[in-house]
Copies of this chain bind each other. A is one copy, B any other.
Amino acid sequence: MEKRKINPQEKIDQVIRAARKLFVKKGYRGVAIPEIVKESGVSVGAIYLHFGNKEKLAETVYEVTLRRFMGLFSERLSGKESIQGKLRAFSELAFEITEEDSEMMEYMLSVRKEIRSDLLLPLCSSDAFKEVQMIINDGIASGEIKSGSDLVAAVSYTGVIIRAVELRLQGVLEQPLQEISDELIKNAWAGIVAE
């Protein structure tokens, strides 16, 4: 703890942050390694030593971001018991991240199959979506959510939330999402609640 020799992990984090920022702005192929060098302050050699190549770097950025989001989501979920409360927790987390770490949210929505890697699907279609879908399954089972396809219900609910995030990031929605959070969550819920 007292040793204070420069932490290699710190450099790695700087590279990941810089890379994500640039990927969001210009896309994977639009970002050259020398740009990441300038943005992160870490040299080309160090980047290739730690990440191997550009594609591996992108995959690491993806995994770190995904892990962080799922961690935050789990935290928020704990303690919530009602279906409605869990879905509200998901929505409010999405809104908060959008306002407080818009770069992270923008990255999650913009990751596409630009990279050859087949593993890189848009974050919000993968684990987080599955988690929401399980919550909705429970809601249908308990009768709180109207019966029908559970997938359709999940699409309907998350659609409202994610679209709001997208349009906020694009500047179409000018107020912070927290200010319209209640209205949005009410609409999303109204779409799927049992009458």
Contacts and interface: CB of A to CB of B under 8 A. Distances in A.
Contacts of A170: 121-122, 125
Interface stretch (A9-17, A44-52, A75-83, A152-160): A152-160
Copies in the complex: 2
Interface residues of A, number: 39
Interface string A173-195: 10000001001100110111000
Q: Chain A binding site: helix, strand, loop or mixed by DSSP?
A: helix
Contact of A155 (B28, B112, B156, B173): B173
A107 to B, nearest CB: 12
Interface stretch (A62-70, A96-104, A161-169): A161-169
15 contacts: A27-B28, A27-B112, A27-B114, A122-B170, A125-B166, A149-B180, A149-B183, A155-B160, A155-B163, A155-B173, A156-B160, A156-B187, A160-B160, A160-B191, A163-B163
